[in-house]
Amino acid sequence: MQITRTRRPVRVLSLTPLIDVVFLLLIFFMLATTFLDTRRVDVSVPRIDGGVGGIAGAFMISIRSSTQLELNGQAVSLEQIEARVRTRVRQNPGQVFQVFPDNAVRLQRVMDVLDRISKAGGRSVTLERQEAEIK
């Protein structure tokens, strides 16, 4: 008696569903990803023709270091700057604010000050480089 075994045919796996899933994931991540950072701060730096000093009647904010801020020559904190800017804007909506960062100040600190001025309602802000003192 001879027993014959029937062999099952070998199934070939199709890669088509896998490729479809990969393309769907690719499309999903392309649509869900933001490629541009739309947050920005518009800074208008005026051209100053000679002379040193500020604009008449402007609030002058000096950023001396990562911890020291001055408003019109008086040491203040970041919160105090926001409160004083808010008060000044209520009195004079067209108030000009000048920001003078030292060369050693980090950009993030400058942006924090500009952000606080903006939150308090200050719209006319100039950013100027602090000139080195000559002795």
Q: What is the pLDDT of residues 1-50, one digit of tens each?
A: 777 888 888 888 888 889 999 999 999 998 888 776 666 666 555 554 44
What's the pLDDT score for residue 37? 64
pLDDT-based confidence at residue 134 (cuts at 50, 70, 90): very low
In this structure, what token pair is assigned to residue 130?
A: 């602090």
Global pTM? Answer: 0.55
CA 9 from chain center: how many Å?
63
For helices 78-91 and 107-119, give the axis angle rounded to 10 degrees: 40
Phi, psi of 81 (to 5 degrees): -60, -45
What's the pLDDT score for residue 111? 87
Chain-wide mean pLDDT for the chain? 79
In this structure, what token pair is assigned to residue 111?
A: 């942006």
Query: To which residue do tokens 């000093």 refer?
Result: 53
In this structure, what token pair is assigned to residue 28?
A: 């999903």
Phi, psi of 22 (to 5 degrees): -60, -45
Query: To which residue do tokens 């080195």 refer?
Result: 132
What's the pLDDT score for residue 50? 45
Report the SS3 class of residue 87.
helix
Mean pLDDT calculated for residue range 127-134: 62
- In 3D, which of 72, 67, 70 has the Cα closest to residue 53? 72
Running DSSP on this structure, what letter comes out for residue 53? S
Domains defined for the chain, CATH in brackets:
59-127 (3.30.420.270)
What's the pLDDT score for residue 69? 87
